[in-house]
Amino acid sequence: MTRYLLIIFQFGGALLYVYTLWLAFTLSGLLATIISAVLPGIANLYWIFQMWSVTGDLFNFYTVANAVWLGTLAFKIFLLKSS
10-to-5, 13, 29, 48 alpha-carbon distances in Å: 8, 5, 26, 20
Average pLDDT score over residue span 44-57: 92
At residue 3, the pLDDT reads 80
Average pLDDT score over residue span 34-55: 94
Residue pLDDT, tens place only, 57-82: 989 999 999 999 999 888 888 887 87
- How many separate domains does the chain show? 1
User: What's this model's pTM, rounded to 2 decimal places?
Assistant: 0.85
Q: Can you give the residue range of the structural domain that contains 74?
A: 2-82
Percentage with pLDDT > 70 across the chain = 96
CB 74 within 8 A of CB 51: no
Other Cβ atoms less than 10 A from the Cβ of 43: the count is 21
Give residues with Cβ within 8 angstroms of 58, minimum separation 6: 52
At residue 1, the pLDDT reads 67
